[in-house]
């Protein structure tokens, strides 16, 4: 099974880059499932119904979220009815949406679990315990399971990967918008990378207009962030997974800059 996971899609530039690259990669690498983190896909923060449909039409099969899940309030109107969107499973249970899902096509099934870290992030439930809870149901439905851990601390992401080694197909970090070069397959068959990176403006600072960010650092005054212009980067990982065992055989980083 060939899986493409796309790092945090930022705004319209990121959506356009994703669409272009998905078409190419599906043709060249026979992608069976395409999943993307879309928590910044609507104007750089949050997601809307229209943007979600735009991502699906681009070839994305499922969307994971993160700390900006609720930045566009309208998400509460559609997240419960969309089986292909997952928000962090360690958010309070009474909130709308779900933390995991199973999607399928003629190539098989894949379970998707979304978690959020706690180090330097919001005060929420334990991602390790949430993973244990969600995996009981997921593993009864699918052998291939992808985990998106949306977190700041590399150590927290790495610890989760080792904790889940052999029980999930991959643990993929998101949130920092900077692709790391530590991709590997752990001893029991779980692929790991600290951060998949970002799909969005290449010439900004993690997708934001660099002048605004620099000014904020210098003055400490609040500024309204704007999406940067110019060339666009596409960050993702390509995974080859044995659908019979759920173990990953290959993980490869993809990092391209599009004019």
Q: Choose, from 68, 175, 177, 202, the residue flagged as catalytic.
A: 68
- CA distances, 28 to each of 22, 58, 209 (Å): 10, 16, 33
Inter-residue contact 182 to 193 (CB < 8 Å): yes
- CA distances, 56 to each of 34, 36, 158, 233 (Å): 10, 10, 30, 20
Inter-residue contact 207 to 228 (CB < 8 Å): yes
Assess whether 177 carries a catalytic annotation.
no
| Closest residue by Cα to residue 138 from 246, 22, 258, 4 | 246
128 three-state secondary structure:
helix
Supply the residues annotated as catalytic.
Answer: 68
């Amino acid at each position: 099974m060939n899986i493409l996971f796309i790092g945090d899609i930022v705004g319209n530039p990121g959506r356009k880059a994703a669409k272009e690259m998905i078409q190419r990669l599906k043709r060249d690498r026979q992608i069976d499932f395409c999943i993307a983190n879309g928590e910044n896909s609507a104007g750089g923060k949050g997601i809307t119904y229209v943007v979600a449909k735009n991502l699906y039409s681009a070839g994305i099969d499922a969307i994971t979220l993160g700390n900006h899940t609720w930045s566009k309030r309208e998400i509460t109107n559609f997240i419960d009815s969309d089986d292909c969107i997952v928000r962090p499973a360690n958010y309070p249970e009474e909130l709308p949406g779900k933390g995991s899902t199973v999607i399928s096509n003629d190539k098989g099934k894949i379970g998707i679990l979304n978690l959020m870290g706690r180090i330097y992030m919001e005060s929420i439930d334990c991602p390790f315990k949430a993973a244990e809870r969600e995996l009981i149901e997921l593993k009864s439905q699918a052998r291939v399971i992808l985990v998106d851990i949306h977190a700041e601390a590399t150590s927290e992401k790495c610890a989760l990967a080792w904790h889940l080694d052999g029980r999930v197909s991959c643990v993929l970090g998101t949130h920092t918008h900077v692709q790391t070069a530590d991709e590997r397959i752990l001893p029991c068959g779980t692929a790991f990378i600290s951060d998949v990176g970002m799909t969005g403006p290449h010439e900004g600072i993690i997708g934001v207009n660099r002048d605004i960010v620099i000014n904020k650092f210098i003055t400490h005054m609040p500024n309204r962030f704007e999406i940067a212009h110019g060339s666009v980067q596409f960050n993702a990982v390509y995974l080859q997974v044995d659908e019979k065992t759920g173990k990953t055989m290959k993980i490869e980083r993809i990092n391209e800059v599009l004019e």
